[in-house]
């Protein structure tokens, strides 16, 4: 199969289409900051994509947040607990948050780019991922 030119062409085409699609999604993404960032999450549930699971985080307008994960995801989280609460705020172009027990209670800030309900985030330590915003 490795020497099959049709297979190679098909695989290269699939790779090119995937790369172009990802570029189009990123090109249409809008960086969020200030009031737009606050409005995007305040009163909403953000579903973080983490290791094949969705982690729902509810952001209340008062600046508190809560999250809970399913049993399997909690078991994979190495003892962090299946739910937690914390505080969130917007600092310029970043969404900052501090959980009480998750993430060792450290404060992290995130830059968000949104395309419809889909979000790409980059944390201040360089980690990145995706999420979707629900009602």
Output the tens digit of pLDDT for each of the chain's 135 residues.
445 444 333 334 333 333 333 444 456 789 999 999 999 999 999 999 987 888 999 999 999 999 998 655 555 555 556 899 999 999 999 999 999 999 899 999 999 999 999 999 999 999 999 999 997
**Total-model pTM:** 0.73
Contact predicate 82/98, CB 8 Å: no
CB atoms within 10 A of CB 104: 7
pLDDT at position 4 is: 47
The full set of domain ranges for the chain reads 1-29, 32-134
- Does domain 32-134 sit in CATH 2.40.128.640? yes
CA separation for the pair 62, 105 (Å, rounded): 19
Contact predicate 48/55, CB 8 Å: yes
């Amino acid at each position: 199969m490795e020497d099959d030119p049709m297979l190679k062409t098909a695989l290269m085409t699939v790779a090119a289409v995937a790369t172009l699609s990802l570029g189009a999604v990123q090109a249409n993404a809008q960086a969020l900051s200030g009031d737009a960032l606050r409005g995007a999450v305040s009163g909403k549930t953000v579903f973080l994509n983490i290791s094949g699971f969705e982690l729902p985080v509810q952001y209340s307008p008062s600046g508190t947040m809560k999250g809970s994960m399913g049993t399997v995801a909690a078991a994979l989280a190495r003892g962090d607990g299946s739910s937690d609460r914390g505080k969130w705020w917007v600092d310029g172009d970043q969404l900052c948050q501090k959980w009480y027990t998750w993430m060792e209670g450290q404060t992290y800030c995130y830059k968000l780019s949104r395309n419809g309900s889909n979000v790409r985030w980059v944390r201040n330590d360089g980690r990145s991922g995706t999420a979707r915003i629900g009602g």
